């Protein structure tokens, strides 16, 4: 049980760490300039959706850190929450691999490292939370 608890707690810390990378996105992608051509409502929707995603990631990260013991106990609720987290990050991993093309923005070794680090983090989160989902009580 302790192994799952530790892996899930690490997952929680990684989720919160993703927010550091997220904070760089508006600057790296030059949102101030890029979004200027949108209508005010469209621009606001992008910022609101971004804020809600940040809130979800904060919630998932905090639950994973604070409640790692309960998430690792194999109960139906724990497996359901872990399943949701696995699907959430699995979908993000699929988007990273098959939809996004970050190459034009990987202009510095630091950005390239960060991009690949995020991909590795998405793999970790998907695998660990999927394993916890399949765990029987």
| pLDDT of res. 135 | 79
Greatest C-alpha distance within the chain: 53
Q: What is the distance between the alpha carbons of residues 137 and 123, in angstroms, rounded to a whole number?
A: 24
Please give the DSSP secondary-structure letter assigned to residue 29: T
pLDDT of residue 8: 98
pLDDT tens, position by position, for the chain (137 residues)?
Answer: 568 999 999 999 999 999 998 898 888 889 899 999 999 999 999 999 999 999 999 999 999 999 999 999 999 999 999 999 999 999 999 999 999 998 988 889 988 998 999 999 999 999 999 999 997 65
Query: What's residue 121's pLDDT?
Result: 98
């Amino acid at each position: 049980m302790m192994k799952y608890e530790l892996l899930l707690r690490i997952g929680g810390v990684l989720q919160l760490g993703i927010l550091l990378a997220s904070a760089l996105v508006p600057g790296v992608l030059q949102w101030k300039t890029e979004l200027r051509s949108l209508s005010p409502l469209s621009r606001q929707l992008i910022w609101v959706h971004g804020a809600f995603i940040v809130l979800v990631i904060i919630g998932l990260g905090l639950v994973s850190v604070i409640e790692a013991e309960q998430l690792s106990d194999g109960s139906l609720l724990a497996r359901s929450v872990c399943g949701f987290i696995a699907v959430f990050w699995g979908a993000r991993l699929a988007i990273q691999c098959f939809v996004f093309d970050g190459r034009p923005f990987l202009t510095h070794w630091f950005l390239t490292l960060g991009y690949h680090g995020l991909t590795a983090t998405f793999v970790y989160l998907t695998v660990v939370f999927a394993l916890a989902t399949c765990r029987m009580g």
